[in-house]
A and B are shown apart, each in its own frame.
Chain A
Amino acid sequence: MIPFTINGKEVEGEEGWTILEVARWQGIDIPTLCHHGALEPYGACRLCVVEVDDGRRTRVVISCMYPIKAGIKVQTETPRVANVRRWIVQLLLDESPEAPKIQELAKAFGVTPSRFKKSGVDFACHLCGLCVRACEEVVGVQAVTFGNRGLRKEVTSPFHAVSKECLGCGTCVYICPTGAMDQMFQQVKG
């Protein structure tokens, strides 16, 4: 067992476990968006950031992928962490102001829509990749993929066409945190 501390509490875990997993098991809440129990961690949303002191210096890292090490001191609710999370939630909220899960997060962080509000889109995709990963890891097909790169990156069906592989199981719609998959589902399924 590897001993370390989270918010001053002595905890321990097996090798290979992540900070997030141990924290949740201990009942310490860390907000997440792109993390899901059924899938491998992905590290897209950065909402699960925590401060880790490894004895030499203190860093802000994502807890969903950071493997636990003996003796590290993890802080989940420092001003530095809160600041990072608030900014992430702010941008997410401006992108899809109507998504229930995002509204929930905004309420928790006391964030309101800013002047950067993206107009005309209520349920925009955040590219968290849950749908793409669920389709591949859980269902076992690749009916939903990422298209383009950089600013133009989007979730779509391969070649923007109706996917022959799609089973129409709706796993992607179920797992989508913003509701953006509702429309894409029609395109994928045909």
Chain B
Amino acid sequence: MNTESKMGIFLCECGGKISNRIDLAHVCDLLRYEPWGHLGIYPYPCLAPGLAAMQQEIRSKGLNRILIGGCSSRLMKKRFTAGLAPAGIEKHQVEMINLKDHVAAVHEASPQELARKAAALISGGLASLKLLEPYEPVPLSFEGPALIVGGGISGFAAARELARQGMESIIFAKAQTPERVLDDLHRTFPGCRLFCGDLGELLREVFTTPEVKVMPEQPIDYIVGGVGDYRLGLRQPDGSVTEVPGAAIVVALDQEYGPANIDYIGGGEQVCDLLELEDRLVEGVEMKAGKVVFYVNSPEHGPAAQKFAAVAAWRDSLLLTRENPQMKPTVLYPANITLPLTGADLVEARAHGIGLQSYAPAVHPVVQSGYLSFVSPADNLEHDLEWDTLVVPGVPGDPAGQAQELLRWLPIYPENGGRLKKSHIKFWPDQLPDESLFFTGSAGGACDVHDVLQQGKKAARGVLRLREKALQGKLVSPVVVHVDKDLCEGCGLCTEICPCGGVEHVKPGSGPVPRDVDNHLCSGGGTCAATCPYEAIKVLNSTAQQLEARIKAIVTQMQENEILGFVCGWGGLASAEQAAVKGLTYPQGIYLIPVNCLGSLDPFILSMAFLNGVKGILLAGCTPTHSCHYHYGIDHCWYRVNAMKKLLSLAGLERRRIALGYVEVNEPESLVRMVESQMDTLEQLPSLPRDDKTKARLWAIHATMHRPRVRWVLGTSLRRPTEKVFPGSQFNAVDADETMLDVLKEEYTVSRIFKALTDQALNPPELARVLEEPVKNLTPILTDMVKDGRIFTKGWEKGYPLYALGKK
């Protein structure tokens, strides 16, 4: 990419929808001093003739930054990137300003007035494009085996598929022979031992094929690296750590079943659970012939678990009758579940004399000695079932094996109900690179062993796809995020916040180690960059510096009483666009700036806007937790807005100059109300005073937002709405808030001292006069600052030390 930027501005008339409301000629006039290489008005740039005309301009004028002033970026960007790709334009080089939905359709002002707003938004876009950093995708190598961890049965299916396609893999398993694997199978898949004919073959193939190395399961100390180059640290029994390299990681985790509490049933040897029954079968314990009743109860685990238990019971009864035809098993299952049995299965059941009986779940069956009474849904009558052995299902438990270790190192998260999920983020598919984290097994949701094996096979195919891409040289890392290793302290906040698992992990206990980014997992959301205390992370396609430039450019063209509005790319932006579709209108004094997520809005952006003289700010994002598409992005934003409010009031300004609102995708009315309300509030407030004193204070607020300590506190003090306790030693809401306020107060004073000392060296009483603070508040801070080496005692004056910036 050419680093010399040459911008082309293409304004869309949209068949009159834009040009009737905005005086586009006037917009061009207002933009005449901006640095562009081409500026033109087009009737329909999105249609074939328009795209052809744009391509021609790009080629003839050598444009490498494209700004389209037209409609929704969400809807149209794909069209333009595809249409302009033949002219050598990449996705990130195209910027769209939504004139239709943010300006033309929602305001009632005159076309000239709206032209001014449109021009301001466009010059903001130009300022942002100007700072676009060149970045080249880096091709990745994909050498070494696939590492299959977690110990789930699907791992073997994955290993076989990989081996058949000639790819090596290392599988970490508890059992080291096919037979041992099968013997333990009922702990994760009760009732499946009979049906492991295929599975046995599969396992034997895996254990004998030279491509697969089966290694004993060992505690995982760390997982570092990225796609094509992972390194797994395994803790050995003697305490040392060996590193195993691999190209990809397949996580196979199954849900483990625990023993049921059968004490309340009693009955001694005659009553057992499915796991125990299978244990007996594995060990070859002679079973007493007679009537065996599988009683599928446990409604507390949900119908899915009951269904699973009923099928397991059916399989075990087949196993019993095959081993001993004297056995007469009956499966008693609740009528509210449907047994996923085929016609052939039912025929087989009849042939072996297996009874399948449903009971009405409304009336709990009663266990008696030798009998079990239940209500049949067919006639609503109570019937008795005779038993010699009673079997109840096991209890679905937690994910097996190395789950906890893997959860720590990989972007897999526990959901409500104990299930594991890759990530709760929902993005457009093209916002994410190829799938490169493979998570399989019943820990992701109760399912049959066949489904799980299929999942394993699918994961293997995913790995093979990556290998194929690498062979063709197409496996590239988009390199969106860059970590400055000189600035990074390895604090780990980014790992916690990253929604995609893109930020690479550091080895534990190794002290501050600069982090790296697995760009293949990264979606470029930017919440990590906004939270980094040391500002070491840069999201190359939308840096904080770009946003800063955009805001500066817009703010300089704003008038008195006009405000900035930040909308997140999901709730806020969608509802703003929806307002235009629904024909709603709101005052034109708000300049909407879309960001990926409000969580990717760096705290210093807010302070910078005020420093540049904006009167007020409105932020509109998704409703917390359930709607946020990022990892608690909106909650992070809440803390930043809260800090900003505190700082404003410390500076003697009104807290209500900044307001955060929540809006859903299809609630444009709420957004309009929000905008009107905040604009009303701000109308009653005076503009920000422009005197030196206020400016110095706003400068100090801005500097405070850059302070690592403040950013660190902002990042760590996040209490997710699902959490009941506050992080650290904060015990309640007031405690937590006061901690934050104390830190802000201190750092704000530090910033103010800094600002005061930039002009001249001062002694404490003079400083106190300048800052209008009592000397006793400043003395401890000044002492600390001297200790930190931020200021030094230049000399002595009237018995007071004279402080100056810098070191001796």
Contact = CB atoms under 8 A, between A and B. Distances in A.
A168 B48 CA distance: 30
Nearest to A140: B429
B47 interface: yes
A14 B48 CA distance: 9
6 contacts: A13-B49, A25-B44, A134-B75, A167-B426, A168-B629, A170-B570
B15 interface: yes
B47 A25 contact: yes
B578 A138 contact: no
Given A24-B15, A38-B78, A173 B665 contact: yes
Interface of B: 15-16, 43-44, 46-50, 52, 72, 74-76, 78-79, 426-430, 570, 574-575, 577-578, 581-583, 627, 629, 665-666
Nearest to A32: B15
Contact of A17 (B49, B72, B74, B629): B49
A137 B79 CA distance: 10
B49 A168 contact: no
A46 B427 CA distance: 34
Nearest to B569: A169
B666 A185 contact: yes
Contacts of B46: 37-38
A171 B428 CA distance: 11
A77 interface: no
A167 B424 CA distance: 11
5 nearest A-B residue pairs (beta carbon): A37-B46, A170-B665, A25-B49, A170-B574, A140-B429
Given A21-B49, A100-B583, A174-B581, A141 B429 contact: yes
Contacts, number: 94
Given A21-B44, A25-B43, A29-B16, 18 more contacts: A13-B49, A18-B48, A25-B47, A25-B50, A27-B43, A37-B46, A38-B75, A134-B75, A138-B78, A139-B428, A167-B426, A168-B627, A170-B574, A173-B574, A174-B578, A174-B581, A175-B75, A179-B582
Most A CB within 10 A of own CB, among B43, B46, B49, B78: B49
Interface of A: 13-14, 16-18, 20-22, 24-25, 27, 29, 36-38, 100, 134, 137-141, 167-171, 173-176, 179, 182, 185-186
Nearest to A167: B426
B49 A169 contact: no
Given A170-B666, A171-B74, A174-B577, A38 B48 contact: no
Contacts of A137: 78
A96 B77 CA distance: 31
B74 A169 contact: yes
Contact of B75 (A16, A29, A171): A171
Contacts of B74: 138, 169, 171, 174
Given A174-B574, A185-B666, A138 B75 contact: yes
Contacts of A100: 582-583
Given A167-B426, A174-B75, A37 B44 contact: yes
B94 to A, nearest CB: 14
Nearest to B12: A37
B668 to A, nearest CB: 9
A186 B667 CA distance: 12
A161 to B, nearest CB: 15
A19 B50 CA distance: 14
Nearest to A176: B581
Contacts of A13: 48-49
A32 B420 CA distance: 47
Nearest to B570: A169
Nearest to A35: B47
A168 B49 CA distance: 33
Contact of A14 (B52, B79, B430, B570): B52
Contact of B428 (A20, A22, A169, A176): A169
Given A29-B15, A138-B78, A182-B666, A22 B429 contact: no
A114 B72 CA distance: 36
Given A38-B75, A140-B429, A185-B666, A17 B48 contact: yes
B48 to A, nearest CB: 5
A37 B665 contact: no
Contacts of B52: 14
A170 B75 contact: no
B429 A38 contact: no
A49 B737 CA distance: 65
A84 to B, nearest CB: 21
Most B CB within 10 A of own CB, among A29, A174, A175: A174
A169 B47 contact: no
Nearest to B44: A24
A56 B678 CA distance: 65
B754 to A, nearest CB: 44
A89 B272 CA distance: 71
B330 to A, nearest CB: 34
Contact of B570 (A22, A29, A168): A168
A38 B60 CA distance: 26
Contacts of A29: 15-16
B666 A21 contact: no
A160 B49 CA distance: 40
A70 to B, nearest CB: 17
B79 A167 contact: no
Contacts of A38: 46, 75-76, 78-79
Contacts of B43: 24-25, 27
A176 B575 CA distance: 14
A186 B666 CA distance: 9
A181 to B, nearest CB: 9
Contacts of A37: 44, 46-47, 76, 79
